[in-house]
A and B are shown apart, each in its own frame.
Chain A
Amino acid sequence: MSITRQDIEHVAALARLALSDEEQQLFTSQMGAILSYVETLNELSTDGIQPTAHAVPMANAFRPDQVAASIGHDRALANAPDKNETYFRVPPVIE
């Protein structure tokens, strides 16, 4: 299955990646090749097979409803690229 330049643009937008023209071109051909390869899976019949979401069967991993210490402002904001008081700051968002 071939993937078009438009497909690449659409996926890049979904993934919030700004690709250069070169990258778009390169990815279009590389992804096309990879997708053709992964399509070999269609040779296999998987009717009636359950998907495996977890390699080791586990269930019910819970924690009790107890408050544990939060890490505090300093550590929460320590790596913030931009902040205002104790908010993380981003360009204005219009809703």
Chain B
Amino acid sequence: MRYQPVIGLEVHVQLKTDSKIFCGCSTRFGAEPNLNTCPVCLGLPGALPVLNRQVVEFAIMAGLATNCSITPTNIFARKNYFYPDLPKGYQISQFDLPICLAGHLDIAVGEQTKRIGITRIHMEEDAGKLVHGQGGGSGVDLNRAGTPLLEVVSEPDMRTADEAVAYLKKLYQIVTYLGICDGNMEEGSFRCDANVSVMPMGSDKFGTRAEIKNVNSFKFVKAAIEYEISRQIELIEDGGTVVQETRLFDPAKGITRSMRGKEEAHDYRYFPDPDLVPVVISDEWVDRVKNGLPELPETKYQRFLSQYGLPEYDAEVVTASRTLADYFEQCAQACGNAKSAANWVMGELTRSLNDNSVTIENSPVSPAQLAGLIGLIDKGTISGTIAKKVFEELWKNGGDAATIVEQQGLAQVSDSGAIEAAIDQIMAANMGQVEEYRGGKEKVFGFFVGQVMKAMKGKANPAVVNDLLKQKLAG
């Protein structure tokens, strides 16, 4: 019996606002426990929520970028349950009238594109954190309580773990492109719950699903879903039934575990929150947001293809994140050589960023500085090899390429006279290899190139060296 996995994803996107959704406390990560709190997010008696307008703006942006319809009158609802990290004993969320409905994302599955439906997007507040090992108990830290979230719920349209990851990456790219989420998965800015079930291939009746909660990396999402699929299939084939339950992924063991001790099926008793008034979104408001949307990944990709003539692979790599794309574009415009800019960004820059665990926002080499370097290569002032040295210098000590080349005398030598002299010297000292080359051993050419470059301290113009060497070696 072959089985068809069915996957739906719920993603919690933490919004990049300065203050919380219902109060003015800071959303900054990493503060001392319970420092960023006030009566509202502490759930103290008498406190009342007031909605941060920026959250609505961000939600509309997310909805437009995912082809959703924006609900004209939307309301908040209380989701009632007891847990120590939930100070009011209810979470303010949206139930009946969420802000966005019926959107979709297109993902690449091999050569094809597949459309994944988005059921809804709604605004809600995050809960606080529980930490363990507090002198024999658990500690409650409410700094995170009240941080604004968007919950993005997909249709159960995915059929493989890879599709799920592709969807997540696309969604991640969109929210970071929009600037509404900082994308920091280690800090919990983008959290994924996966609903997984299996059904007999060809059936149209979905099986019972299990929910894997809070998976925080693309790698783990793939592993968790794959494990869960095989767990469910094995269970069914052994004669068991899949239970609707919540499970946690254990990255160390690569398995999902049932969440023991958690309450079974909560009765959340949703009802409209009487402390908040409806959010009415006019067509004008939606239009304003639409006109203010930054360029989305797909559009930017197409534009890089046509405007800069980049190959598809380059355009895709360089548009992976908005900051990378912005960096590339600034550099390309400054130096006028898009292909070169792309190469340097994808090559040396990315390598250096990764080696030094630096994000592109914090790159010590700016697009302008890199453009200056590329300009020197294009003018023939330096060779590619020397350029790499100059880049390292820019990275370590800053400055600009032209000054570095001048101060360190790195300008390449194109004067044929000097190069010829070097070539003559080397040929004279290596007659054996000259004979070998003339005898047909073409590989020896590389030896000569290397020797000439060494003699000229890497500054010889490689093209000129090549030409002259060929001539002289030919005899």
Contacts and interface: CB of A to CB of B under 8 A. Distances in A.
Nearest to B37: A76
Contacts of B108: none
Contact of B50 (A14, A62, A77, A85): A62
A90 B86 CA distance: 13
Interface stretch (A25-33, A34-42, A67-75): A67-75
Ordered nearest first, which 3 A-B pairs have the shortest CB separation?
A68-B24, A87-B139, A65-B54
B38 A71 contact: yes
Contact of B52 (A16, A65, A94): A65
| Max count, chain B CB within 10 A of own CB: residue among A16, A86, A87 | A87
Contact of A92 (B42, B50, B132, B279): B132
B84 A68 contact: no
Contact of A67 (B25, B32, B73): B25
B272 A90 contact: no
Nearest to B213: A95
B35 A82 contact: no
Contacts of B138: 89-93
Interface of A: 14, 16, 53-54, 58-73, 76-77, 82, 84-95
Interface string B241-270: 000000010000000000111100001010
A59 B52 CA distance: 14
Nearest to B87: A88
A48 to B, nearest CB: 18
A14 B265 CA distance: 11
Contact of A61 (B42, B142, B277): B277
A70 B141 contact: no
A54 B272 CA distance: 10
B419 to A, nearest CB: 63
Given A14-B267, A66-B19, A88 B34 contact: yes
B25 A88 contact: no
B130 A53 contact: no
A16 B269 CA distance: 14
B399 interface: no
B418 interface: no
A95 B19 CA distance: 29
Nearest to B83: A93
Contacts of B261: 94-95
Given A59-B73, A76-B37, 12 more contacts: A54-B274, A59-B280, A63-B51, A65-B53, A68-B25, A73-B35, A86-B33, A86-B141, A88-B142, A90-B137, A93-B84, A95-B262
A63 B52 contact: yes
Contacts, number: 130
Interface of B: 17-19, 23-26, 32-39, 42, 50-56, 73, 75, 82, 84, 130-132, 134-142, 248, 259-262, 267, 269, 272, 274, 276-280
B342 to A, nearest CB: 36
Nearest to A55: B274
Contacts of A73: 32, 34-35
A67 B248 CA distance: 35
B453 to A, nearest CB: 58
A80 B261 CA distance: 26
A76 B50 CA distance: 19
A65 B51 contact: no
A67 B19 contact: yes
A62 B34 contact: no
| Max count, chain A CB within 10 A of own CB: residue among B38, B82, B269 | B38
Contacts of B130: 93, 95
A8 to B, nearest CB: 15
A92 to B, nearest CB: 5
B141 A87 contact: yes
Nearest to A15: B82
Nearest to B261: A94
10 contacts: A53-B272, A58-B278, A59-B277, A60-B277, A63-B50, A63-B53, A67-B24, A77-B34, A84-B139, A89-B137
Contacts of A91: 137-138
A86 B134 contact: no
A62 B53 contact: yes
A93 B132 contact: yes
A53 B25 contact: no
Contact of B137 (A70, A84, A95): A84
Nearest to B260: A94
A29 to B, nearest CB: 24
Given A53-B274, A62-B56, A66-B18, A86 B26 contact: no
B33 A85 contact: yes
A68 B34 contact: no
Contacts of B248: 95
A87 B136 CA distance: 13
